[in-house]
Amino acid sequence: MSTRRAVAATDSVSYDDLYRRWENAPWRATGIDLSRDVDGWRSLNDMQRRSGLWLYSMFLYGEDSVADNLSPYIDAAPAEEQAYFLTTQQVDEARHAVFFHRFFQEVIGVEGDTLADTLATTDEHLNWGYRGVFGRLDRMADELRRDRSLPRFAQAIALYHLIVEATLAQPGQHFIQDFFTGAGEMPGFLEGMENVANDEQRHIGFGVKCLADAFKETDECKAAVDEMLREVLPYALAVFVPPGFDRSYTREYGFEMEDVFAFALGSIKAKWRATGYPLEDRPPGVFPLDPTMDDDESARIVVALLEAGVMGAPNGRPDASAQTQEKFFDLVARSFDASLVASPPAPAFTVQWRFSDADPWHVRVADGTAQAVAGEASSADVRVQTDWKTWCDMSVRNASPVEAVLRGRFRPRGSPRALYELSRIAGTRFGVR
């Protein structure tokens, strides 16, 4: 679908339409019959129950968190129609939390009576990526209370509706529904998940329309959203990493980690395209992958880098094999804005990395492209001395470059002009600004 057709699709849906869809799709979290699900839960094997606790904990905590954080969105909404819809969404999120609370209490059998008791049981199942995303959601709500500007509102909508709901929740819902539709062992849970998914689809449609309207209003909204994506995507990519990277957590439900990522990538590309600001149009470094690459191939790269410890939670020393470095430095090269390199007589710009514990690599920017190459360059404009873990922490985990420099763990060398040029074409992600 072209960007023009996608934007036209958002124009054809009004906030009034979305509100009417909410009124026409009522359901009761307390009215779903979960009695048959108790035996269905017991019929699952031990690994399926462990995996279920991991997956459902993320849903319960997430539904409670977004319900708590929606109030400043309502206050900051530029149009009354948007505020009214967001009010319905807050009701939805509370209803979702009540449904998952009931499932934990009545089917899984967790101890305690209150929602707070049930929420406490989710804590051990929330990983580094998940905490990073929802910690940012908490801070975003606070920022929105202080700053109700349209760019801040666009940031908040992008984080909530397109990252939390479209990139994280929707893929999880898809695979869980697939499994229980085939198994037929927990009909109440399946009914609830289908209702939740229908609500979320409506919310995502609202978010896409909000962003389409904001992007048409001012390019400041695009820049604000890009800033937020640079910050949060390293965490979002790590949300579906199971405990101990044990792949049976997903395999017991009939899918691989790569399947989740591929589904999420395909979905989110379509959503961003519908906003009128597709991933292909983002500045280099905002979205770490090639948006034109096949989703399955992109998913394999992400999972391989997560498994290697290059992306995701800090996990000792990341793997630095030739295969891992090649995959990662391809992403590094993609983060360079090659269009900003000066024209002749300075037709090329080269950055050399020398690692104390890994093989060297360099990136050469010339003729409008950036290419990552293994080994030493014959000459370089900037030379960086560091160790492999520090480089991974800085480039994908938002670690402070200033702290790394002060501790002597990251040392860029070059003329003032060359260092300035690097700051222009590589930006903040690689610790040079």
pLDDT digits (tens, 9 = 90+) for 274-294: 999 999 999 888 988 888 899
Average pLDDT value for residue range 333-349:
76
**pLDDT per residue as tens digits for the range 75-126:** 999 999 999 999 999 999 999 999 999 999 999 999 888 999 999 999 999 9
Average pLDDT value for residue range 39-66:
93
**pLDDT per residue as tens digits for the range 150-172:** 999 999 999 999 999 999 999 88
In the predicted structure, residue 206 carries a pLDDT above the cut 70: yes
> Considering the chain, what percentage of its residues have pLDDT values greater than 70?
94
**pLDDT per residue as tens digits for the range 382-425:** 999 999 999 999 988 888 888 989 899 999 999 999 998 888 88
In the predicted structure, residue 135 carries a pLDDT above the cut 80: yes
Residue 178: band (very low, low, confident or very high) from pLDDT cuts 50, 70, 90: confident
In the predicted structure, residue 342 carries a pLDDT above the cut 70: no
Residue 184: band (very low, low, confident or very high) from pLDDT cuts 50, 70, 90: low
d(C-alpha 149, C-alpha 162), whole Å? 19
**pLDDT per residue as tens digits for the range 243-256:** 999 999 999 888 89
Quote the pLDDT of residue 431.
42
In the predicted structure, residue 33 carries a pLDDT above the cut 80: yes
Q: Is 317 helix (H, G, I), strand (E, B) or coil?
A: coil
In the predicted structure, residue 7 carries a pLDDT above the cut 60: no
Which alpha helices (DSSP H) does 147-186 contain, by range?
150-157, 170-183
**The residue to which tokens 């101890």 are assigned:** 111
Name 311's Cβ contacts closer than 8 Å, sequence gap at least 6.
Answer: 234, 237, 238, 302, 305, 392, 396
Residue 1: band (very low, low, confident or very high) from pLDDT cuts 50, 70, 90: very low
Single out the residue of 154, 432, 424 nearest to residue 284, CA to CA. Answer: 424
What domains sit in the chain, N to C, each tagged with a CATH number?
3-307 (1.10.620.20), 327-430 (3.30.1050.10)
In the predicted structure, residue 4 carries a pLDDT above the cut 60: no
Q: Tell me if 393 sits within 8 A of 362, measured CB to CB.
A: no
In the predicted structure, residue 426 carries a pLDDT above the cut 90: no
d(C-alpha 207, C-alpha 267), whole Å? 14
Name 269's Cβ contacts closer than 8 Å, sequence gap at least 6.
Answer: 278, 279, 291, 295
In the predicted structure, residue 430 carries a pLDDT above the cut 60: no
Name 133's Cβ contacts closer than 8 Å, sequence gap at least 6.
Answer: 163, 164, 168, 232, 235, 236, 239
End-to-end CA distance of the chain: 37
Residue 433: band (very low, low, confident or very high) from pLDDT cuts 50, 70, 90: very low
Quote the pLDDT of residue 134.
97
Report residue 389: phi and psi, to 5°: -65, -45
Six token digits for residue 185? 């062992």
Q: What is the mean pLDDT of the chain?
A: 91
Burial class (CB within 10 angstroms; exposed 0-12, middle 13-18, buried 19+) of 172: buried
Strand intervals (E) in 174-225: none
Residue 173: band (very low, low, confident or very high) from pLDDT cuts 50, 70, 90: confident
d(C-alpha 42, C-alpha 2), whole Å? 48
**Exposure b/e, 181-212, CB count within 10 A at least 16 = b:** eeeebbbbbbbbbebbbebbebbbbbbbbbbb
In the predicted structure, residue 226 carries a pLDDT above the cut 90: yes
Name 203's Cβ contacts closer than 8 Å, sequence gap at least 6.
Answer: 89, 92, 161, 165
d(C-alpha 271, C-alpha 113), whole Å? 39
Single out the residue of 66, 72, 57, 116 nearest to residue 91, CA to CA. Answer: 66
Quote the pLDDT of residue 339.
82
